[in-house]
């Protein structure tokens, strides 16, 4: 069964600490923080000081999804603010190998994110050097978008290549994840479901997380 990473992009920003506490108490496995710079993506969200401010509200690992250009200039600040897994985009302007090394040198885990139009094969040369693969199921920039089912074949392709290389890391899927889209995602092999709207806008957050965790499980 997949793990669940609520994306605080859909939370109440006036009460972000309490929102993080709420999903942690409701059974989440990670906290997913979306960082946008207005350049790599059109939107702007939060920075390291916000990660630091909310860090104390949960003991869960923080996945910090950097949708920013030149992430190498900022990974130190995010590491020091309490991020556990730092995700960078393969499409972002940077020397990816040195960014990966830098994150590891800071003692943090590396996630590599791949946008919908980017072929998954472009991540293959890096699979042995990363701790998580993030398959984007929307074009990043905004919460509440519609899931793109065409990305799903990327998951078994990546898993097969990982097995071939003898090093398998978890695959997270992010964007438009609901119990309905989480189901085919988990069946395709997604290990972690990142979900903003379907968790934070749900009438019952605990129930929303429970339904996501049951995705892909045999209902017999
Ligand atoms: C997209 C972000 C996602 C997304 C999740 O740019 O990386 O984390 O906002 O939100 P929902 O689940 O609402 O698509
Ligand atoms: Zn995200």
- Give the global pTM: 0.98
Q: Is 118's C-beta closer than 6 angstroms to any atom of ligand 1? A: no
Considering only CA atoms, give the Rg of the chain.
16
Strand order in the sheet with 85-89: 3-6, 192-195, 171-174, 132-136, 109-114, 85-89, 62-67, 31-36
In this structure, the residue with its CA closest to atom 6 of ligand 1 is: 140
Question: Ligand 2: distance of its center to the CA of 65 in Å?
Answer: 5
Tens digits of residue pLDDT in 12-35: 999 999 999 999 999 999 999 999
Q: Is 6's C-beta closer than 6 angstroms to any atom of ligand 1? A: no
Q: Any idea which residue has 């749900």 for tokens? A: 202
Taking all residues of the chain, what is their mean pLDDT, rounded to a whole number?
Answer: 97
Tens digits of residue pLDDT in 134-164: 999 999 999 999 999 999 999 999 999 999 9
- pLDDT score of 220 more than 90: no
| % of the chain residues with pLDDT over 70 | 100
Report the residue among 86, 143, 173 best suited for mutation to probe ligand 1: largest number of ligand atoms under 8 A from its CB: 143
Question: Ligand 1: distance of its center to the CA of 164 in Å?
Answer: 31
CB–CB of 100/129 below 8 Å?
yes
Q: Is 7's C-beta closer than 6 angstroms to any atom of ligand 1? A: yes
Residues 94 and 70: their CA atoms lie apart, in Å, by 5
CA of 64, nearest ligand number: 2
- Which residue numbers are catalytic? 34, 174
Write the CA distances from 62 to 14, 88, 94, 150, 194, integer angstroms.
20, 14, 23, 28, 12
Backbone conformation region of residue 107, classed left if phi is above 0, alpha if psi is from -120 to 50, else beta: left
């Amino acid at each position: 069964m997949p793990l669940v990473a609520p994306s605080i992009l859909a939370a109440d920003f006036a009460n972000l600490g309490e929102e993080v506490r709420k999903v942690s108490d409701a059974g989440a496995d990670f906290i997913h923080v979306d960082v946008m710079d207005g350049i790599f993506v059109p939107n702007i969200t939060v920075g390291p000081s916000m990660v630091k401010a909310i860090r104390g509200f949960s003991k869960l690992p923080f996945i910090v999804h950097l949708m920013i250009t030149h992430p190498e200039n900022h990974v130190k600040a995010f590491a020091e603010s309490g991020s556990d897994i730092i995700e960078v985009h393969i499409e972002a302007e940077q020397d990816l190998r040195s960014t990966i090394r830098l994150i590891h040198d800071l003692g943090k885990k590396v996630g590599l994110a791949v946008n919908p139009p980017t072929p998954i094969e472009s991540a293959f040369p890096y699979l042995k050097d990363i701790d998580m693969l993030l398959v984007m199921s929307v074009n990043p920039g905004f919460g509440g978008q519609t899931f793109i089912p065409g990305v799903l074949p990327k998951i078994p392709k990546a898993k097969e290549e990982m097995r071939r290389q003898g090093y398998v890391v978890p695959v997270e899927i992010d964007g438009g994840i609901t119990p309905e889209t989480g189901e085919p995602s988990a069946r395709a092999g997604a290990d972690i479901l990142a979900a903003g709207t379907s968790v934070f806008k749900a009438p019952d957050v605990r129930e929303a997380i429970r339904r996501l965790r049951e995705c892909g499980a045999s209902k017999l």
